[in-house]
Structure 1
Amino acid sequence: MSSLSKMPDVVLTAIIHYLDFRSIMFLRKVCRDFRTFIDEVVPSSSIIGLGLTVNQERIELALEDSLAEFRKVTYSKPDQELAFWKDLEMILKHQKSHLEYFTVDLEPPENHRTLDKSTLEKLHSEFLDKLQNLLTSRKAPLKAASLNLVVGDQNEIMTILPNIDSEKLEEILLFPATGPHMRVFKLDRVVETVQWKNAKELGTANFMVEEPLEKFTHFERCRICVDTISLKLLRQLKETFFNHPTLESFELHHEPHYKCRELKHLFEQLFEGSYPDEVYQDRWYSRIPGNSEEVLSIRSSYFDWITFSRCKFSEIQRSII
């Protein structure tokens, strides 16, 4: 009986086809012949989810495969950093199919509130430079349906986002690495990327945006935070729903500057009427021109968020006041 290493390439290829990525990496370490063969063939991995979490003490690599098995490997810094980059390089080299999600979480130090901006910007610069080099060195952009970034600023976003396949990316999730306190997050360069323009869903939290509303209304589902709510902003969003049938929902979080009656007064000026809701007290609505089946429905806490969405007119018809 011939040994596995002496089998024809077509047989080895067939065997590798049934192995998960972890098994392929184990096989690669068996002998030089296997390593050479695997490096030449570059079989696709079975990984569907990839997560990277980095702080001053460690780097965590989280993997989920097609069998829904989840593995997490922790690399201490600086002793095991080289091993991490070798492992990540191998993973990205074999990642040919699209990921369901790709997450990068840049954790700040506990004393980040006492550090100046320039110090915070340098904390993860080396990690991001190496990650960017790995992503740009691929023959094709990394395919991921969802990109989840916990970062410090726009520059950090731009080291990753432009290197994701714009045709596969559907969802972008952005969160500030420095915690839940609200601040402005500049996105003027991010909103001009093809990845941003092609994505279908945007989720943000704990930071405010200042870019024009039209930079967000191409999404089918969107959640952003703004500082102030105005009649002009609400009217613009209402008209956008009327003119863009693909827009399903738009959630506006805002600073709690307003009293309940102030927002109610804006809604009374802008929408056709209201109807009772067991959870949100009142919901407001407007008929959509040329659409007899759907209406624009608005619900609000009256304190810190407003959500625009479409619903069937038949669902609210009996409740309309």
Structure 2
Amino acid sequence: MSSLIEMPELVLERIIGFSHFTAVLTLRQVCRDFRNFIDDLKDSKLPDAKFSKIEIELKEDGEKIIFEFVGPDDSLYRLKYAEAGNRRKFNGKGKMVMNADIIDVAIQDVELILRFQKSPLKRLYCDSNAYIHIDPSIHCLPIKLNDMFKMLNRKIKTRELSIVITNFQSEVTIILPIADLETLECIDVYSYYNDTGIEIDDIVKTEQWKKVKEMNFKVPALNLKVEDICHFSRFNIKVNTISAKDLDCLKKTITSGSSNVEFSCLKVINFDENEEILNLWGPAYLSESSSQWYFRSKDSGEDILVVNYQQDRDKIHFDVFELEDVPNGAIVQEYNEN
């Protein structure tokens, strides 16, 4: 009686192609022949896992590394790794990993599982916020992830990339390059602990920063230049301070039509140039606790840029209204290139 492995390769490929990815992973563990056959297959021959989300977390206690893969039906596949005893758990079932670096084991597992991901993710979430507490030996995980993608010459297709950080811009610059430029739509960067801010000189040089259309940067961005955010369609960025001159430059860029900014927000922790902005823009239209200015765009008589400064919340909003939505009594300033 013939064994399954003795089937014609084309038939076996078809069986694998129509199987669930977990069944293929199970088949891979049956024997060396199956493992070699599956490992030698092109990724295009493997089934699509169709994950919607992948979460990568570094923990302070117990399991040091956690990977969560969320399926299209909200099914959850969880891999946990602990350095103590070199333990690996898959959906609650544990196994000892002998004579191997647990971080290398985690990277190998992720590399294998990602072979089954063909469709774009909705979200990739990377939480390195535990850097502030955990064993320094675990810090190399993002670096090894980055190295893995370089070696494979591939990117991960995700519409949203969320990165939770502590204190270093390197945490962002290591993770950003693994995201596919053609798929990426939104980047979120935030922290549970850091209120002092991080320098973003290298972050703004990445292709992902330059190409993405929506940016949410909830850690104070130090050394931010207005020209580094003008290409975003939507942004929500936290800064320690901003000059009236830079605000005016951003206003001119938007009204000139060289930027496609939609509803966006600057969270300015210390804005002390109220007098300077009044000198540049004139009196504001006052509405409750906010000051509003209205500016006509260069090539559209109906599109009006609204700059709304909410002093009690330290927020400066940029939005585009239609002319008919401007409140009575508000002055709409004509477009001025100077």
Q: Does TM-score exceed 0.5, indicating one fold?
A: yes
Q: How far apart are residue 5 of structure 1 and its match?
A: 3.9
Aligned residue pairs: how many?
306
What's the secondary structure of 2:145's corresponding residue? Answer: helix
User: Is structure 2 residue 322 aligned with structure 1 residue 312?
Assistant: yes
Name the structure 2 match of 1:101: 123
> How many angstroms apart in 2 are the aligned matches of 1:253 and 1:123?
35
Deviations 1:64-115 (A, max 9, x none): 2233323333222342325433321212344344322222111336769xxx
Distance 1:74 1:18, change over 3 A: same
Q: How far apart are residue 204 of structure 1 and its match?
A: 0.8
Counterpart AA for 1:316: V
Distance 1:169 1:211, change over 3 A: same
What's the secondary structure of 1:47's corresponding residue? Answer: coil
Name the structure 2 match of 1:146: 160
> How many angstroms apart in 1 are the aligned matches of 2:141 and 2:59?
10
Matches within 5 A, 1:184-195: 184-195=197-208
Deviations 1:184-219 (A, max 9, x none): 311112211222211111111132331311011111
Deviations 1:169-191 (A, max 9, x none): 22221123xx3442131111221
Name the structure 2 match of 1:92: 114
Query: TM-score scaled by structure 1?
Result: 0.82
Q: Is the 8 A contact 1:175 1:207 kept in 2?
A: no
Q: How far apart are residue 288 of structure 1 and its match?
A: 1.6
Matches within 5 A, 1:145-224: 145-151=159-165, 152-176=167-191, 179-224=192-237
Name the structure 2 match of 1:116: none
Identify which range, 225-234 or 310-319, moves more after superposition: 310-319
Q: Is the 8 A contact 1:182 1:208 kept in 2?
A: no
What's the secondary structure of 1:169's corresponding residue? Answer: coil
What's the secondary structure of 1:66's corresponding residue? Answer: coil
Structure 1 stretches of at least 4 aligned residues deviating more than 6 Å after TM superposition: none
Unaligned runs of 5+ in 2: 88-101, 332-338
Counterpart AA for 2:72: S
Name the structure 2 match of 1:53: 57
Superposition RMSD on alpha carbons, in Å?
A: 3.0
What's the secondary structure of 1:157's corresponding residue? Answer: helix
Unaligned runs of 5+ in 1: 113-119
Q: How far apart are residue 52 of structure 1 and its match?
A: 0.6
Name the structure 2 match of 1:117: none
Query: TM-score scaled by structure 2?
Result: 0.78
Matches within 5 A, 1:1-321: 4-41=4-41, 42=43, 43=46, 44-57=48-61, 58-78=64-84, 79-80=86-87, 81=102, 83-108=105-130, 122=136, 124-151=138-165, 152-176=167-191, 179-243=192-256, 244-256=258-270, 258=272, 263=274, 266=277, 269-270=280-281, 274=285, 276=287, 283-303=292-312, 304-316=314-326, 320=330
Q: Is the 8 A contact 1:183 1:208 kept in 2?
A: no
Q: Is the 8 A contact 2:181 2:211 kept in 1?
A: yes
Identify which range, 267-276 or 126-135, moves more after superposition: 267-276
Counterpart AA for 1:255: I
> How many angstroms apart in 1 are the aligned matches of 2:178 and 2:230?
23
